[in-house]
Amino acid sequence: MLLTVRALEKSYAGAEGRVPVLRGIDMEVAAGETLALTGESGSGKSTLLHLIGGLDTADAGSIVMNEQDISRLDDTGRAAVRRSNLGIIFQQFNLIPSLDVAANIAFQARLAGMYDADSATGLAQALGLADHLHKFPEQLSGGQQQRVAIARALAAKPSLILADEPTGNLDEATAAEVMAQMLALVTKTGAALVMVTHSPRLAGQMGRQLHLRQGQLA
């Protein structure tokens, strides 16, 4: 099993005390699996994804990936896991404005010591970016920017991709095209994919679905 989450809990400070967001989450993700996390706004989907990605820390429970409990690591340790094992795709793209497309794609892979020029070129071609490698993010459409973000996440050859509403800022036609390209590449690379989405149509394209309701898996 690539990822095992057990008894995961998370709360945040509110005006009247702690507000529970996750209430004892148990889940597993196998290598190469695609999984959709669905649920209403505020159900804890993005919080769960951020905890798995080591972007936040849990109050209780464990997150074991590749036999390493990342919930017990400090900031430096979690950052090392993100570099070596994870690819994260955000709704807001989070590209580096001062870098061109080629450098944005290579960025994460270089940090992880996994940069391969042929692989990066292949990703760019598969995502329709071959003619845009010397452009900067501001010169691209939203769909093109999200393709760059997907290529960047895959270029480091991670074992797990985490995607938080990756097509949420795109129109329906572009979202469908980007989603199809992402799933094809994830399948080709053998990475597992955990994706947060509000869209039943997109969730239906994943191998399995888990639904969150009020911080628990329904």
Angle between the N-to-C axes of helices 101-111 and 117-126, in degrees from 0 to 180, rounded to the nearest 10:
130
Element (H, E) at 101: helix 101-111
pLDDT score of 55: 93
Widest CA span in the chain: 54
pLDDT score of 198: 87
> What domains can be seen in the chain, in order of their start residue?
3-217 (3.40.50.300)
Q: Which long-range contacts (CB under 8 A, 24 or more apart) does 72-80 make?
A: 78/54, 79/54
Instruction: Report the chain (218 residues): mean pLDDT per 10 consecutive residues.
Output: 96 88 96 95 92 95 94 92 90 92 95 90 93 96 93 93 89 88 91 93 94 91
Between CA 18 and CA 185 the distance in angstroms is 41
CA distances from 216 to 12, 115, 164 (A): 16, 38, 18
Which token pair is 107?
Answer: 């960025």
Lay out the sheet containing 3-14: strands in order across. 17-29, 3-14, 60-65, 68-69
pLDDT score of 154: 92
pLDDT score of 149: 94
- Phi, psi values for residue 109, rounded to 5°: -65, -40
What residues have CB less than 8 Å from 176, skipping those under 6 apart?
Answer: none
179 in Cβ contact with 150 (< 8 Å): no
Handedness of CA 78, 79, 85, 87 (dihedral sign): positive
pLDDT score of 175: 87
